[in-house]
Amino acid sequence: MNQKINNIEKNFDTSKVSWLKSGGKIKNLIKIYNINDIDEILNSSEYFNEQFLTIGNFSNLLIKSNGFNGVGLKLLGDFTQIKIEDESLLVGAGVLDNYFSKYCYQNSITGYEFLHTIPGSIGGNIYMNAGCYGQEIKDKLLSIIFYDLLLKKHFEKPIHDLDFKYRRGFQQDNTVILYGRFKKEIGEQESIKKTMKEYEEKRNLSQPQRVNCCGSIFKNPENMNAWKLIKSSLNDSFYNGPVKLSKKHSNFFENDPNIEADLIEQFIINVQHKVKQKYNLVLDPELKIIG
C-alpha cells in the first residue's frame, strides 16, 4: 500500500529544539496524533524497512552531526493527554513531566512532586526509568501501553512483567511507548505544593540553571557517585571551553549553543577516558546519542 503521509518535516534540524542547542538533522520527522497514524506509516511503502526513533522533549537525546537517516516519530494529540480514571491515571507518552506534576497538584494527587524538576516527557521517563530524590518512575507505574512496530499492534503490560532497573526502563526493540498507567493517590494540595517547592529549591542549589544542559551526564555506578569520580579524575581544563563541566556539579556539562554535536560526544568520551585511567571503571552515559 502506498499512502500519502501528512505531517512530515524533511531534514528536521534538531538543534532548534534540543536542550543543548546542538544536534544533526533527522531525514523525516513525522507527527503522530493517534494510533491510526502509526498504522498508516507502517502500511506505507515509502517507509518500508526504515529505522524509527521516537522523539520526546530532546532533554536527554543528541543526534550526531551526520544526522539520523531514518524516521523520527513525535507523539502529539492523544499522546499529550491525561485521563483520571477510577483507580489510576492514564498519561500519554508526550506529556511533559513538569506539566504532569502540576496537573496532579491541581487535582490533589500526590506522588508525582519529584517530576516537577525533571525536564523530560513521560515516554522518555518510562524508557529511562528516570528519577530523583530517592524515587523512580517504576515505583509509580501500574502498566505500560506500547506499539509493536513488527506485529503492528498495541499491547499493555503490567509493571511486574517488566524488568526495570536503575536508569533502564522499557527499552524493548521495535516498540513505541504510547501511555503509562499510573497509581492514583489523593493528597492534600498544600502539602503537595510544599514538596514541589522543596524539590525545586534543592535542584536550583545543586544544579546549573539557565544554561544549555542535558541533566546528569553519567549514571552513578553501584554504591558510587559519578560526580565524585569525575571531579577527582579531571583537571581544571575540563571546566573551560565550548563544552565544559559545570562548576556547580561535576556530573553536568554546559555547552555553547550551535556547536557541533560531535564535539559534545568527544567531550563525554574524554571524561570517560580520564575516569577509566584513574579508577579502571567506565562510566555509562545517561545522554542518548544517535547517529
Annotated catalytic residue 286: yes
Per annotation, catalytic residue among 15, 22, 216, 250: 216
Cβ atoms of 56 and 18 within 8 Å: the answer is no
C-alpha 35/C-alpha 271 separation (Å) is 41
Burial of 30 (0-12, 13-18, 19+ CB in 10 A): buried
Phi, psi (5° rounding) for residue 235?
-95, 180
Burial of 85 (0-12, 13-18, 19+ CB in 10 A): exposed
Q: Which of 51, 5, 59 is nearest to 26 (CA)?
A: 51
Per annotation, catalytic residue among 50, 167, 168, 246: 167
288-290/61-63 β-pairing? parallel
Q: Which residues have CB under 8 Å from 117's CB, separation 6+? A: 132, 133, 199, 200, 202, 203
Annotated catalytic residue 167: yes
131-132/135-136 β-pairing? antiparallel
Cell of 43: 502500511
At 210 the three-state DSSP class reads coil
Q: Which of 289, 286, 168, 271 is nearest to 229 (CA)?
A: 271
Question: 153 to each of 42, 49, 163, 173, 252, how far by Cα in Å?
Answer: 11, 17, 21, 14, 39
C-alpha 222/C-alpha 204 separation (Å) is 26
The helix (H) or strand (E) run that includes residue 74 is strand 68-75
Q: Which residues are catalytic?
A: 167, 216, 286
